[in-house]
Amino acid sequence: MDVRSEEAGPGAVTVLQVGPLGAGLSSTLASKYGAVKMAQPAPSGAERDAVLAVTGGHSGLTAELLDALPSLRAIVTFGVGVDRTDLDAVRRRGILLSNTPDVLTDDTADTAVALLVDVMRGFGAVARWTRAGHWAAGGSYPLTRRVSGSKVGILGLGRIGSAVASRLTAFGCSIAYTNRRERPEAPYRYVASLEDLASWADALVVTAAGGPASAGLVSEAVLAALGPGGYLVNVARGSVVDEDALVSALVGGRLAGAGLDVVRNEPHVPPALLGLDNVVVLPHVGSATVETRQAMADLVLANVAQFFRDGTLVTPYDVSG
């Protein structure tokens, strides 16, 4: 379907790309829907008539940008997190919003487990040590910490948190979680207070959605409760963690280590973290496999197609609060 002929006159923009997307997805949107990449930071001319915006998890649409797009009826997000879009404005305007749940759950959970194993066993650091010739020179690396059988707290038992928990159950870990509300159907112990969860756990894995409601949840007090023997893994959003407190705890030896796929101000990693051997920082690659990125792109295109077919979305995100 070429929506340009059905929805608007020649030269009109119906679909607006906001922020970078993969080259394949971007060119399909352009060829199939005449999508135009927005001239940053604000739309100009015909771009203001866009009916549907496609955006990446790192971009989103601010309230200001939404104000500049009065005809917008739908936002299709490439990513599960919608925290970069102003959800209050979306709700007020009655704009439909979609994300890409489920298809990236396994890769993101794999990333969390890999980070946990890496930081507790120190594999990244040990590999650097080996490469530097210390093994050949007769050295032996200090002992590390056991992952199997450890106590792991999950912050946010949604799809990704549950997938992390089931993987770590296979490791013989004890799992407890905290969540906005208890999930009685989950086979894990619910702990209402994040601080209590952190003081019980050997490691805390952050899988809670980003946004104002979760900002700074992993506070200085939570990190102190996790303690000098504790590890933090974050595959959610940097905003969920008080990053200054995290850096200070790691630099001061008040936390055993951290595995981070996300930081507060991506792609800027606090320089102090890059110098620490007990910290692994990845450049937000939780869902970055060929298979998952294809599935995410397919789901974005399915959402766009359905919107133009019947005005609904395949994977709508509930903004009702």
Specify the residue, 58 or 183, whose C-beta has the smaller distance to ligand 8YV: 58
Specify the residue, 3 or 297, whose C-beta has the smaller distance to ligand 8YV: 297
The position carrying tokens 């305007």 is 93
**H/E segment holding residue 19:** none
Q: How far is the CB of 123 from ligand 8YV (least distance, A)?
A: 24
Cα–chain-centroid distance for residue 12? Answer: 34
**Distance (Å, whole) CA 103 – CA 109:** 11
**Distance (Å, whole) CA 4 – CA 272:** 50
Maximum alpha-carbon separation in the chain: 74
Q: How far is the CB of 96 from ligand 8YV (least distance, A)?
A: 18
Specify the residue, 52 or 255, whose C-beta has the smaller distance to ligand 8YV: 52
Specify the residue, 3 or 97, whose C-beta has the smaller distance to ligand 8YV: 97
**Is residue 286 within 8 Å of residue 67, measured between CB atoms?**
no
Strands 203-206 and 231-234: parallel
Q: How far is the CB of 132 from ligand 8YV (least distance, A)?
A: 32
| DSSP β-bridge partners for residue 119 | none
Q: How far is the CB of 116 from ligand 8YV (least distance, A)?
A: 18
Which positions are catalytic?
237, 266, 284
Angle (deg, nearest 10), helices 159-170 and 105-121: 50
Q: How far is the CB of 165 from ligand 8YV (least distance, A)?
A: 19
Specify the residue, 34 or 286, whose C-beta has the smaller distance to ligand 8YV: 286
Q: Where are the alpha helices (DSSP H) in the chain?
A: 3-7, 23-33, 63-67, 87-93, 105-121, 123-131, 159-170, 194-200, 220-226, 243-251, 271-274, 290-310
**Distance (Å, whole) CA 204 – CA 224:** 12
Instruction: Using CB under 6 A, list all residues that contact ligand 8YV.
Output: 56-58, 78-81, 104, 284, 286-287
